[in-house]
Structure 1
Amino acid sequence: MADYFLEDIVINILHRLPVKSLLRCTAVSKSWRSLITSPEFTASHLRFAQQVAPSLLLRRCIKSSERYELYSDDDSSSSLNRVAAFQFPFKSMNSFFTIVGSCNGLLCLSDDRVYLMNTVVLWNPSVRRSVLLPKPNLIYNSYGSFNQYLGFGFDSVSSDYKVVRITYVDVGVNPQIEVYKLSSGVWKDLSCCVELVPVICSRARQVFVNGASHWIARYMDSYDVVVAFDMCLEAFRTMKLPVLQGSDGQFRGRDLAVYMDCLALNLWHVPGAALCYSVWVMQEYGVEKSWTKKFCFDFTSVGSELLRPLWIRKQGEAVVVCQDGRLVCVDQEGGRVKDFGLRGHRSDTYQRSLAVDSFVCSLVLLERDASSLSSLPSDDGDSAGSSGSEYEKRSESVSKHRLL
């Protein structure tokens, strides 16, 4: 085809192809492979992909096996339509990995749900490439017990992916701040030049929005705020949470989320026998007065079968997990329930493993040769980098420190 069309036309066509088709195109010729694996093409293809509505990535743990599946987020559909299933090549030393975050087709996973294994992976399931991060500077063998909180995102200035690690060795002591850059492949200690006064005290997932990772933190006087780490500036800032009144002030659970590219706060509580759920959205990033109560769900008519919310769809429907593990979609009136047709399970492991996130397929990491990757072994012993025996030795040398 390249013999009959101008190069610009060929590139324009390739930009619009899905990742699966582009992987096949890398076998057409050396020039095509060089083009498709170039950082410039990866970035431009990602921009095209982001113009299309992102899909939903669903993770669940079935019989000690993690499953990652991609579904189209079509609000008009009565069921989720699966568009892809990714083979998960890693094995957690815990029941399953913690999903730190998703950004530009990359997932950041950490094996620290119960026991801290110092194992953090960047994984692109679309191109089946991964990077195992080196052990950070602060580990249990050297410092004893501590709590860690991770953030993952993209530095748009340097076009680099970063993981920030915040570790508390003792109460009242400033945390250690470390940043891993994919471009350098090493952890950098920022503790001497970066200060974080409020203490992150929630194991809820961070969210990446507007170029920063966000957590809920607390000052010593019990004043809660949102802490943001800017990936470009590598600095922290704080923002006030919305002033909650009425039933919102009686929440039992809360976490941060992203809704339509805006920072959001999810609140849920069980005043009686049914789940209540509300969503606040910061409509103008960084402007604390712009917090607005966007959605309010009253599931009284549904009954007590709903357990916890997982996601808010584009048109404001809530994806909720039931007590039997099924996923359902409920409108704001709480009277219309759509079962997505996914079989669930009542086990605690299954229900805790359920996670939903926005996802876009990309070519990130494709330019790296598989032989150069430090990757965890797959279940069948095949590894794109380090051998299975090397990982086993590393895991045995790491004390299974139970997180506080």
Structure 2
Amino acid sequence: MCRTSPFLVNLPSEILINILSRLPIQTILSCKCVNKQLLCLLSTPEFAASHLPLSTTGLLILHYCNYLTSCRVFEFEDELGLQNSNLHSSAVRKFDLNVSMGLPDVCLGVVGSVNGLLCLREWGNSGYDALYVCNPMTREYIALPRIEGSPENSDFFDYGFGVSKMSGQYKVVGYVHRQSYDSQPGPCSDIRDYECLVYTVGTRSWRKVQPGAPFEHYDLSFSLFLKGNLHGCVLDYCGSAVKLIYCFDLESESFKPFLQIPPSQDGAPLAGNLGILDDCLCFLENRSADEGISALSVMKEYGVAKSWTEILVISEVEDFTFLYKDCIYPIKAFKNGDLVLNWNNLNLFYFNSVTKTCRDLDSGIQNEQSSIEAIIPHRLSLLSLKNFDGENVLSFSS
């Protein structure tokens, strides 16, 4: 529990904000219960803005059990918090999203997480995807309007979520894919009709933008947000099936030139997954068993293909000999070189940079009745959705 002295409370608000914004978020939430003065101060946009650059990036796990989608948010500042392989002891939020948001009998998936705001996608039987933006820490959420003419007749509909670099606008990007065929044979005879839409939080409307060149998604890392852009691995749909990294600029709302993934040693196409570590794009390459499970490369200079640098090879995963290597995703990096890895949304592993081995992390939710929908890095912030004029902000009911 946070306790304050009369001297501390009587400090100028800017000094008090500077002090309290450095505390762990669980302590800050406790401080809100001390008195009305602290509650008002800690609920201001000024405090949220001061706390955001100092906030930690933890983990968020969405899991589906007994027709309910539950959410757990974990906080840890460094590798010392994970030494005992017990992750669930560091949980700072646990709740059922279906109950809290009044959404019975639906499964929710994650679109993306930015600055503590979480974009969710409802997988229901209504014929279209409902979208939400929430902050688990402030217990607020908004429901996005339905996309006109959306995706009943589409092959699939995909989304991304991020914030523009200059204007600071939070945006949800939707991609409609519809199959069509060209009468003339060729590399693009089997083409798709693409439509790209953008929703800026606070505007209550979707807008169509130029969709960019045709491409085909390769893996699940579709909406990786970094430096004002969304990234994902794709196949060049009208070329030679070369795997590329696409980039959507949220400021200009346009696609940027494609980047190449790290080159392989023999020139053959690489198999692996794109991720983000320490504000850098990374690629976890899957190699044969005699070479090691995976090799991790980092793009040290953003947007420069020649800056890809291999930093480690993960050679052993304790007790999990027959892993499907193409399902491993990097989640979090620590200052000492240790990593947290996500395997197919089923298991979390802690990679020890000294011993070069992995061990299982206990999240406390793996059981036969529960299926994990998403495991993602999530920043723990107090950014309020009430700052976005024009949105109907609702509060979790429980």
Q: TM-score category by the smaller chain?
A: 0.7 to 0.9
Give the conservation status (yes or no) of the 8 Å contact 1:198–1:217.
no
| Native 8 Å contact 1:57 1:71 kept in 2 | no
Cα 1:69–1:31 shift into 2, 3 Å: closer
* Mapping 1:88-237, distance limit 5 Å: 88-90=96-98, 96-112=107-123, 117-141=128-152, 144-171=153-180, 172-190=191-209, 194-202=210-218, 204-205=220-221, 206-219=223-236, 220-221=238-239, 222-237=241-256
1:114-162 Cα deviation digits (max 9, x unpaired): 9963211111000100111111134135xx1332221111123222211
Report Cα offsets for 1:163-209 as digits up to 9, x if no partner.
1111112242441111111121221111xxx2411414235132101
Residue range with higher mean Cα deviation, 238-247 or 279-288: 238-247
Offset at residue 17 of structure 1 (A): 4.5
Question: Counterpart in 2 of 1:54?
Answer: 57
Deviation at 1:300, TM superposition (A): 7.3
Contact 2:286 2:295 (8 Å CA) reproduced: yes
Which of residues 77, 80, 92 is equivalent to 1:84? 92
Structure 1 contact 71–84 (Cα < 8 Å) conserved: yes
Q: Residue 297 of structure 2 corresponds to which residue in structure 1?
A: 280
- 1:372 is matched with which residue? 392
Q: Cα gap change, 1:73/1:305 in structure 2, threshold over 3 Å: closer, same or farther?
A: farther
Worse overlay, 199-208 or 279-288: 199-208
Matched, 1:74 2:78: yes
When residues 331 and 218 of structure 1 are mapped into structure 2, their CA distance, relative to the original with a 3 A threshold, is same
CA distance in 2, matches of 1:344, 1:6: 44
1:364 Cα offset (Å): 3.0
Report the Cα offset of residue 224 of structure 1: 2.3
In 2, the alpha carbon distance for the partners of 1:260 and 1:38 equals 29
Q: 1:70 to 1:324 in 2, by over 3 A?
A: closer
1:15 to partner: Cα distance = 3.1
Q: How does 1:253-272 map to 2 (within 5 A)?
A: 254-268=272-286, 271=288
- Which structure 2 residues correspond to residues 21-60 of structure 1 after superposition, within 5 A? 25=32, 28-29=35-36, 33=40, 36-49=42-55, 53-60=56-63
Which blocks of at least 5 consecutive residues in structure 2 are unaligned?
1-5, 181-190
Normalising by structure 2, what TM-score? 0.77
User: Counterpart of 2:173 in structure 1: which amino acid?
Assistant: V
Overall identity of the aligned pairs, in %: 23
> Secondary structure of the equivalent of 1:204?
coil
DSSP 3-state at the match of 2:251: coil
The alignment of Structure 1 onto Structure 2 pairs a total of residues equal to 365
Change (3 A) 1:28 1:333: closer
Tell me, yes or no, if the aligned pair for 1:298 and 1:332 is still in contact at 8 Å.
no
| Alpha carbons 2:111, 2:121 under 8 Å: kept | yes
Q: CA 1:322–1:18 in 2, change beyond 3 Å: closer, same or farther?
A: closer
Q: Give the counterpart letter for 2:160 in structure 1.
A: G
Deviations 1:252-295 (A, max 9, x none): xx3321111101122335x4599712222111011111112222
**Given the superposition, is the C-alpha separation of residues 332 and 63 from structure 1 closer, same or farther in structure 2, using an over 3 Å criterion?**
farther
Are 2:61 and 2:73, in contact at CA under 8 Å, matched by a contact in 1?
Answer: yes
Asked if 2 retains the 8 angstrom alpha-carbon contact of 1:320 and 1:328, the reply is yes
Q: 1:61 to 1:268 in 2, by over 3 A?
A: farther
Query: CA shift at 1:30, angstroms?
Result: 7.7
Q: Secondary structure at the match of 1:293?
A: strand
Q: Is the 8 A contact 1:248 1:267 kept in 2?
A: no
Amino acid at match of 2:377: D
Inter-CA distance 96–316: structure 2 relative to 1 (3 Å threshold): farther
Q: How far apart, in 2, do the equivalents of 1:27 and 1:228 lie?
A: 46
Of the three residues 7, 11, 20, the one matched with 2:13 is 7
1:334 deviates by 7.3
Code of the residue aligned with 1:131 in structure 2: it is I
Of 357-366 and 202-211, deviating more is 357-366
Q: Secondary structure at the match of 1:78?
A: coil
338, 356, 362: which one pairs with 1:341? 362
Give me the whole-angstrom Cα distance separating, in 2, the residues matched to 1:89 and 1:6. 38
**Structure 2 partner of 1:353:** 373
Counterpart contact for 1:72–1:82, Cα < 8 Å:
yes
Amino acid at match of 2:212: L
Contact 2:218 2:233 in 1 (8 A): yes
- Distance in 2, Cα, partners of 1:275 & 1:129: 44
Whether the aligned pair in 1 keeps the contact of 2:273 and 2:328 (CA below 8 Å) is no
| Structure 1: unaligned runs, 5 residues or longer | 384-404
Partner amino acid for 2:176?
T
Instruction: Name the SS of the counterpart of 1:43 in structure 2.
Output: helix
**Distance in 2 between the 1:368 and 1:236 partners?**
26
Distance in structure 2 (CA, Å) of the matches to 1:333 and 1:113? 45
